Structure 1
Amino acid sequence: LQPLPTSPAADVRSPNVQDSSLFSSPARSPASEFDVSSPLTYGTPSSRVEGTPRSGVRGTPIRQRPDLGSARKARQVDLQAEQPVVDEIVTSEQSLGQKLVIWGTDVNVAACKEKFQRFLQRFADPTAKEEEHSGMDLSEPLYMQRLEEMNLVGEPFLNVNASHLKAFDTELYRQLICYPQEVIPTFDMAVNELFFDRFPDSILEHQIQVRPYNALKTKNMRSLNPEDIDQLITISGMVIRSSQLIPEMQEAFFRCQVCAFCTRVEIDRGRIAEPSVCKNCNTTHSMALIHNRSMFSDKQMVKLQESPDDMPAGQTPHTVVLFAHNDLVDKVQPGDRVNVTGIYRAVPIRVNPRVSNVKSVYKTHIDVIHFLKTDEKRLHRIDDEKDQKLFTEERVEVLKDLSKKPDIYERLSSALAPSIYEHEDIKKGILLQLFGGTRKDFSHTGRGNFRAEVNILLCGDPGTSKSQLLQYVHNLVPRGQYTSGKGSSAVGLTAYVTKDPETRQLVLQTGALVLSDNGICCIDEFDKMNESTRSVLHEVMEQQTWGAGEAGIICQLNARTSILAAANPVESQWNPKKTTIENIQLPHTLLSRFDLIFLMLDPQDEAYDRRLAHHLVSLYYQSEEQVEEEYMDMAVLKDYLAYARIYVHPRLSEEASQSLIEAYVDMRKIGSGRGMVSAYPRQLESLIRLAEAHAKVRFSEKVENIDVEEAKLTNQPTPRVSLKS
């Protein structure tokens, strides 16, 4: 009898084992073997995988397990026997199929496959939201519709919601959470058999891989402990850094330098087991590694930081290292907020790379199975192709009907920050900032690029809701960053060079402005920011890039972000006896880069104070339903903004162009008689961006005079600061 190993990693398979009937599906011939795979390290597709449903299609990518090489088969033991099942005993699946499980688990392969196929064929969720399953019949089996869609699209990945699995079969869900290394490959076999039985003529890039997500065993990053090792978990956070693509060897190719005999060796637990003796000529130490004949897979290291909502008071954010493989590489970028589903790993640290001794303290990481971007309460991203498919024809018709209403501009602005009293003009300006202008790229003609982002500065007395407006915008937009002027440095806003703890190489760590690319960066206490920190904003606010040249790293980073800044006057209170420039005291070069500057003053008026107090008190005694009835639904506002930013790209008409020219000339005339410059060409570009944004509000592809007039009105609440020439 073969001794029972003490751990799955010590399992040694007898070379004489050929019994594959124990791992076959009840509906298929016993020729199908259960290849112990891992849902983690996706390797190069191998044609040597046997038992595939279609021999003409490339095999499933080798999903190696760190503890068991993919060349070994899963060992099974009899739960009802005191001794482990002898490998040489020939046993039929009918007699012992329900008793045999993979060693170290309670997973029976045949039963697990049968349960999962039943789940795919029967599960339906009539109570699901239509937004989650757009274009699908909720009364029909959900995942069978997904397989039909997969047959048409050709993407060999099936995302399975773990909460659906728990609602259908609690025991199968428990096995998935506790033994993902064994269960997920079993799911792969089950879905491939079901798919190719239903669509025998379908051709995919490789066989279907199941990706579970939304595991109910969701852990806070701080509460991860040794009990979670090798289990399926889901955590949330924000991506702060992603490494470059790293090639990881999956299969080594050796050739004898004496007789040219060639052999392939699977990578076992990250080690290359070099053959010491050639099997052909018995020469020792003659095998040489041939790199260009070896098989590699893509790998990327991603660093995930704890989200502010999950942090205890007074604590610094925690980080965790993620490893993404193959098609998951470059799925997320720094600044994305994601839910990560994967397997929690612990890896020993060697005392010395040349010695096999390891420390008692282990390093942990997560091998990623699924990324889910979580911005449900935020706007859709412009550059996300998936978000461009969210709008059904019915939803588009509703949005277009809404855009034809004459008061749509006022309705949208009143839906922004409804808890803040009045400030309608400021809300309209922020609304235009959310829509943005039309980005124009004339680099191929040598005229450069023209930014579409609108920058806004809020300046005024304390207690006028400046910070609340910033917080609201930060919570609304994706890739939004919030920072304070006093606590920010120049490198913290842009990027800085640091040493990678994994590779010990110098890498560029991005800051708030770069992380908010294609978003909005909210900067509070702008007046308290020192001069050296404010100087980095000049390039970002106009050229939308930031050039880095430090420690041998020379690059140009995209920072296509809108700036929403809030500042207090010099004396903390606005002094009406001083001019605007004396109250703000910001450099002229920086002020000219703001498209809109709003003054938020606290008037000394009894009637205004009474209305404001009534509004504040009503926020406490009114219920949420009463408040929501008065304003537009946030889901409608989110979709309206997203559709306009993605699909509406207005261009200037001839009449609007002439109106813009006249408006710019009038702005220049204001200070010409006193020998002062009241407007720069940047202010003309600001008017163009504001007019384009107002055209987006109407879903219009053409900028008309009404848009130019509204842009001029938006620019009037605070007259453009006069700057001496």
Structure 2
Amino acid sequence: SGLLNYYQDRSESEMDDQMNPPFSSNPSQGEDLPPFQDESEADALLGNLGEVEEGEGEELFGDRLERDYRPIPELDVYDPNVMDDADYEALSPSGRAEVDRLLQKRDREEALGKGRMRPGLLYESDEEDGARPSRRRRMAERAAEGGDDDDVSLYNMIESIENLEDTKGHTVSEWVVMQAPRLEIFNRFKNFLRTTVDSKGNNIFKEKIQQMVEENKESLIVDFHLLANAHEVLAFFLPEAPTEMLQIMDEAAKDVVMSMFPKYENIAKEIHVRISDLPLIEDIRSLRQLHLNQLIRTSGVINSCTTILPQLRLVKFDCPKCGYILGPYFQNQNQEVRPGACPECQSYGPFEINMEHTVYQNYQRISIQESPGKIAAGRLPRSKDAILLADLVDQLSPRLSYASEITGIYTNNYNGSLNTKNGFPVFSTVIMANYVERNDDKLAASALTDEDVRTIVALSKDERIGERIIRSIAPSIYGYEYIKVCHRTSQCLEGFQRTLGGKHKDHHIRGDINILVCGDPGTAKSQFLKYVEKTAKRAVFTTGQGASAVGLTAYVQRHPVTKEWTLEAGALVLADKGVCLIDEFDKMNDADRTSIHEAMEQQSISISKAGIVTSLQARCCVIAAANPIGGRYDPSLTFADNVDLSEPILSRFDVLCVVKDQVDTFRDELLAKFVVRSHRKHHPSARAKEDDPLPDINPSSIEKIPQVGWFNGAVEEIQKIHIKDMKYILMRFPLKVLTSKLLKKYIIYAKEKVDPKLHQVDQDKIAKMYSELRRESMATGSIPITVRHIESIIRLAEAHARMHLRSHVNSEDVNTAIRITLESFVETQKFSVMRSMKR
């Protein structure tokens, strides 16, 4: 088209010269016919032509036809500068390409010009002689020469460019790659980067670009909500055609960055636009064919990753026969592109890669798995591979095992082994990451609304908030208030880690509370673990029989694609900053239990396998349930004799809970009524009732109910009361159960927003308590008391203060921590020793 304009302009110039020939002193003499003898003969000829009537026209054929070809010296005068009688060779392909390039550059400059008048405004008519055809007309003529009436002409596209969302029947992917829409998207996004300001009037992306340049990065983060508010059509096109849109945005961002910092191209050859805060988050298991080639956002935990590898991006080849450099060839993700033949010597190779001119980029492949807390009951977690390129590499790894979010293009690629496995052609899917984000635990508290915060603060002012939380924990389980208190305190310090100040800032002290529940079968030990799994923000449930040492910690395996050794995270690593629940803890062998010693105290897991030497974070509390030796707990033996666990593992548990199935007529009746009432109340066909009607109660029995708690004999006092008087206990101590959703929000707020201080702690009381416990432990031969128990008391006191949203640990918190420690110590003694201690 550019070459056609070149020849058209040239022909128009020749016609103008022929119509108005300039005079010169060099006459041109004819050769075939003699010239006129005098001027009268020529005048007579011209006069006869002027006398011809307009209707008859000029006689072109006749007896005097030869006179038209006789030379006229006065008229046959031409300028040699405009003579075009030389022979011109045809343009070479490279020459034609150069002409087209110059014409396209001129057209782009005209289109990008601001405030420039149209050619139609400069002339009275576009068809006026001597006026150059407008660019719009030339583009319409070029489109018409294509001969395809079904396609929308570029002329029509430019007319409707203001209505960019009207794709003229094309798909979004086809529309955005056309010249006019692409140019409009380029201009709009560049204007968006230059003009977007915050509430204070500061340019948002100017500051981001300056920060990016200071850090020598090549990623510019763009908030999707900002883009949608400024240009809705761009936000609409982006998820539908992400590959094409991101390419245009990258070019516009590079143009803006290079205009601000012209020499930054020496550091970063490309600028990548990263889209953050995409509104919809898709689950990994919900990705379908509908999401292919779409921009998606998903979340999960990183359980494996490869090392950073160099990937070919633009490759050039050397011809060994003639030395010609072939390329560059752009390498895609699906297949390797190689030249067929050398254009210089027509050789078919083999060709060698030119290492000097080949461009590489960083490449890393990771595997993202569904978060354990978001998996439906009975489902296995699913995973999906994601590819990180450029400066996204090494931002996510298994050692940072908390939930991560990936925004990228969900695409497919060819996998021969997958076809062989399935027996028919299928494609494997992968996420081409555009933006990654590590979700810290502080983000959970930011999800709380102002109304939630006001409700939580109001609840903390209730004097009986502790008892309400105890009753709200596992309400379907009758009794066991002591175990519920332990679970409550452990959740308030879930994932917490204390860092020493001063010169030891790198030293950390465990802040999580580990709990071991041991007792007879049928005492709801596993139900407690299941309830914690549902209420905790992040929980990983496993069993000792089905878990191995590497399954709990970490293991290495060969990656199926790269064939290199990769690190896979275990249960403790996946539960980082959460809780790890281990049922049937006694069924584990000694070698497997030994592997979790480091995780329970140092909260890290050291790996030295297959050339990989690293340390993974395992900042989680461990809640385990075990059965005694022989199936039943023997009260005549100590706790250490009833369980098949070593002293090192027992000392790492802050609280030891013993659950005994004792025969008691009164308690058995209460338990049976509670179970029957629970089944009747939660039956689908039953009508919801808040309370049952009160039975006949003897008012004189009210005075027999002392105001005592669970820790100083409440069960023994309640046993003296007739069963029909139990309703007065609820009337005397009215407690409203918190919903599981509100309880979870309360625990999240307490754990993340409250950090109680310890300077008001009664140190003498804790020191005296520790010395007496060690003396009794040596005298009775029960579980050993170590310095870890002092830290356990401090952790329990901090957790109790967090539960009440207090900024300081007071004497009530210390007393509660001491009661829990004493109860744990007494319950692990022999029956005779325990009875004497209770007295």
- Which deviations, in whole Å up to 9, do the C-alpha atoms of 1:302-340 show, x marking residues without a partner? 213356799899876543211133454455554445665
SS at match of 2:824: coil
Residue 430 (structure 1) aligns with: 487
Deviation at 1:183, TM superposition (A): 4.1
Query: In structure 2, which of residues 744, 747, 753 is the aligned counterpart of residue 641 of structure 1?
Result: 747
Task: Give the distance between the partners of 1:188 and 1:144, measured in 2 at CA.
Answer: 26
What residue in structure 2 maps to residue 241 of structure 1? 304
Which aligned pairs between 1:181-580 and structure 2 lie closer than 5 A?
Answer: 181-185=243-247, 209-211=274-276, 213=278, 221=285, 224-225=288-289, 229-233=292-296, 238-250=301-313, 265=328, 267-269=330-332, 289=354, 297-305=361-369, 318-326=382-390, 328-330=392-394, 332-334=396-398, 335-337=401-403, 340-348=406-414, 362-370=427-435, 381-382=440-441, 386-387=443-444, 399-400=456-457, 402-436=459-493, 439-441=498-500, 444-445=503-504, 449-580=508-639
- Distance change in 2, residues 1:615/1:285 (3 Å): closer
| Deviation sequence 1:286-305 (CA, Å, 0-9, x none) | 998566x8765443312133
Quickly say closer, same or farther: Cα 1:187–1:600, change in 2 above 3 A: farther
Q: Aligned partners of 2:773, 2:765: CA distance in 1, in Å?
A: 12
Note if 1:180 corresponds to 2:242: yes
Q: Which residue of 2 aligns with 1:45?
A: none
Distance 1:463 1:507, change over 3 A: same
Deviation at 1:493, TM superposition (A): 0.8
Residue range with higher mean Cα deviation, 479-488 or 363-372: 363-372
The aligned counterpart of 1:667 is 773
Deviation at 1:484, TM superposition (A): 0.9
Q: Which amino acid aligns with 1:715?
A: T
Q: Secondary structure at the match of 1:469?
A: helix
**Cα 1:691–1:560, aligned 2, differ >3 Å: closer, same or farther?**
same
Q: Equivalent residue for 2:23?
A: none
SS of alignment partner, residue 243 of structure 2: helix
Residue in structure 1 matched with residue 706 of structure 2 by the alignment: none
Shift of 1:434: 1.7
Q: CA deviation at 1:563?
A: 0.4
The offset of 1:711, in angstroms, is 0.3
Q: Alpha-carbon deviation of 1:521?
A: 0.7
Distance 1:462 1:537 in 2: 25
Question: Which position in structure 2 is the counterpart of 1:4?
Answer: none
User: What do the CA deviations read for 1:448-478 (whole angstroms, capped 9, x no partner)?
Assistant: 5421111001122333332232223223334
Corresponding residue for residue 705 of structure 1: 811
Would the alpha carbon gap of residues 298 and 599 (structure 1) be closer, same or farther in structure 2, given more than 3 Å must change?
same
2:133 is matched with which residue?
A: none
CA distance in 2, matches of 1:116, 1:290: 34
- Structure 1 pair 632–493 and aligned structure 2 pair: CA distance change class (3 A): same
Letter in 1 for 2:625: A
Question: Would you tell me which structure has more strand in proportion to its own residues?
Answer: 1
Say if 2:275 and 2:434, in contact at 8 Å, map to a contact too: no
| Shift in Å, 1:413 | 3.5
8 Å CA contact retained: 1:671, 1:722: no
User: 2:681 matched to which residue of 1?
Assistant: 618
Is the radius of gyration larger for structure 1 or structure 2? Answer: 2
Q: Which residue of the partner structure matches residue 790 of structure 2?
A: 684
**1:579 to partner: Cα distance:** 3.9
Q: Distance in 2 between matches of 1:601 and 1:296?
A: 66
Report the TM-score when normalising by structure 1: 0.67
Q: Distance in 2 between matches of 1:464 and 1:21?
A: 82
Q: 1:650–1:692: 8 Å Cα contact kept in structure 2? A: yes
Considering fraction of residues, name the structure with more helix. Answer: 2
Partner secondary structure for residue 320 of structure 1: strand
> For 2:541, what is the secondary structure of its paired residue?
strand
Which whole-Å CA distance do the structure 2 matches of 1:207 and 1:494 have between them? 37
Distance 1:527 1:159, change over 3 A: same
The AA in structure 2 aligned to 1:347 is N
C-alpha distance 481-268 of structure 1, shift in aligned 2 (>3 A): same
CA distance in structure 2 between the aligned counterparts of 1:363 and 1:146, rounded to whole angstroms: 47
C-alpha separation in 2, matches of 1:684 and 1:582: 24
Deviations 1:421-461 (A, max 9, x none): 34332222112212226513479559954211110011223
Structure 2 equivalent of residue 581 of structure 1: 640
2:823 aligns to what SS in structure 1?
Answer: coil
Could you tell me how far apart the structure 1 residues matched to 2:590 and 2:201 are? Answer: 56
Correspondence for 1:590: 649
1:253, 1:264 within 8 Å by CA — same for their partners in 2? yes
* SS of corresponding position for 1:323: strand
Instruction: Give the 3 Å change call, closer, same or farther, for CA 512–591 of structure 1 in structure 2.
Output: same
The 3-state SS of whatever aligns with 1:702 is coil
User: Structure 2 vs 1, CA of residues 615 and 219 (structure 1 numbering), >3 Å: closer, same or farther?
Assistant: closer
Deviation at 1:90, TM superposition (A): 8.1
- Gap regions ≥5 residues in structure 1: 2-13, 32-75, 122-140, 352-358, 374-379
Whole-angstrom distance in 2 between the partners of 1:117 and 1:564: 58
Q: 1:485 to 1:285 in 2, by over 3 A?
A: closer
**Shift, 1:153, TM fit:** 6.5
Which residue identity lines up with residue 182 of structure 1 in the other structure? E
From 747, 764, 786, give the equivalent of 1:658.
764
Q: Are residue 157 (structure 1) and residue 221 (structure 2) matched?
A: yes
Q: Tell which deviates more after alignment, 246-255 or 697-706.
A: 246-255
- Higher mean C-alpha deviation, range 452-461 or range 424-433: 424-433
Identity %: 27
Q: Distance in 2 between matches of 1:23 and 1:510?
A: 57
Q: Compared with structure 1, are the counterparts of its residues 563 and 251 closer, same or farther at alpha carbon in structure 2 (3 Å cutoff)?
A: same
Give CA deviations for 1:513-561 in whole Å, capped at 9, x if unaligned. Answer: 1222222111011122222211212222122222223333333332222
> What secondary structure does 2:477 align onto?
coil
Does the 8 Å CA contact 1:22/1:92 hold for their aligned counterparts?
no
Shift of 1:240: 2.0
Q: Amino acid of the residue matched to residue 416 of structure 1?
A: I
Distance in 1, Cα, partners of 2:110 & 2:643 = 78
User: What pairs with 1:90-169 in structure 2 (closer than 5 Å)?
Assistant: 91=155, 93-95=157-159, 105-107=174-176, 156-160=220-224
Residue aligned with 2:366, SS:
strand
Q: Are 1:219 and 1:233, in contact at CA under 8 Å, matched by a contact in 2?
A: no
Q: Could you say what secondary structure the match of 1:719 adopts? A: helix
Q: Give SS of 2:768's match.
A: helix
What amino acid does structure 2 have at the position aligned with 1:485? G
